[in-house]
Amino acid sequence: METKQFKAESKRLLEMMIHSIYTHKEIFLRELISNASDAMDKIYYKALTDETITFDKDAYKITIQPNPKTRQLILRDTGIGMTKEELEENLGTIAKSGSLAFKAENESQDGHDIIGQFGVGFYSAFMVADTVTVVTKPFGSDVAYKWESHGVDGHTIEEVEKETVGTDITLHIKANEDEENYDEYLEPHRLRSIVKKYSDFIRYPIEMEETEQRPVDGSDETETVTVMKTVNSMVPIWRKNKRELTDEDYRNFYQEKRYGFDAPIKHIHISADGAVRYQSILFIPEQPSFDYYSKEFEKGLELYANGVLIMEKCSDLLPDHFSFVKGMVDSEDLSLNISREMLQHDRQLKLIAKNIQSKIKTQLEALLRDDREKYETFYQAFGRQLKFGIYNDYGMQKDTVKDLVLFHSAKEKKLVTLAEYVAAMPEDQKYIYYASGESTDRLDKLPQSELVKDKGFDILYFTEEIDEFAIQMLLNYDGKEFKSVTSSDLGIEQTDQAETTETQVEMFNAMQDVLAGQVKEVKASTRLKSHPVCFATDGAVSIEMEKILKSMPN
Ligand code: ADP
Ligand code: MG
- Ligand number with the minimum distance to the CA of 119: 1
- Ligand 2 centre from 35 Cα, in Å? 5
Mark the ranges of the chain whose per-residue pLDDT is less than 50: 554
Distance (angstroms) between ligand 2 centre and the Cα of 117 equals 7
Quick one: which ligand is closest to 93's CA?
Answer: 1
3-state secondary structure of 518: coil
Q: Are 356 and 324 in contact (CB under 8 A)?
A: no
The CA-based angle 170-308-67, given to 5 degrees, is 25
Q: Whose CA is nearest to atom 12 of ligand 1?
A: 90
Point out the ligand nearest to the CA of residue 90.
1
Query: Is residue 336 within 8 Å of 34, Cβ to Cβ?
Result: yes
Q: Are 63 and 75 in contact (CB under 8 A)?
A: yes
Nearest CA to ligand 1 atom 19: 35
Mutate-to-test residue for ligand 1 from 45, 86, 122, 338, highest number of ligand atoms within 8 A of CB? 122
pLDDT at 159: 96
Ligand 1 atom closest to Cα of residue 91: 12
Q: Which of 90, 167, 171, 306 maximizes ligand 1 atoms within 8 Å of its Cβ, making it the mutation to test the pocket? A: 90
Q: Is 510 exposed, middle or buried (0-12, 13-18, 19+ CB in 10 A)?
A: exposed
Model confidence pLDDT, tens digit, residues 450-486: 888 888 999 999 999 899 999 989 889 999 999 998 8
CB 325 within 8 A of CB 337: no
* Alpha carbon of 395 to ligand 1 centroid (Å): 48
Q: Which DSSP state fits 170?
A: E
What residues line ligand 1, using a CB cutoff of 6 Å?
Answer: 31, 35-36, 39, 77, 79-82, 90-91, 97-100, 116-122, 167
CB atoms within 10 A of CB 131: 17
pTM: 0.71
Burial (CB count <10 Å: 0-12, 13-18, 19+), residue 62: buried
Helix and strand tally (H, E) in the chain?
17, 19
List residues bridging with 211 in a β-sheet: 226
Look at residue 284 in the predicted model and tell me its pLDDT: 96
Taking the CA of 123 as reference, the closest ligand is 1
Bridge-based pairing of strands 301-305 and 326-331 is parallel
Q: Give me the interface pTM, i.e. the ipTM.
A: 0.99
Q: State the pairing for strand pair 432-436/459-462.
A: parallel
Q: What is d(CA 239, CA 281) in angstroms, rounded to the nearest whole number?
A: 10
| Sign of the torsion formed by the C-alpha atoms of 9, 15, 18 and 20 | negative
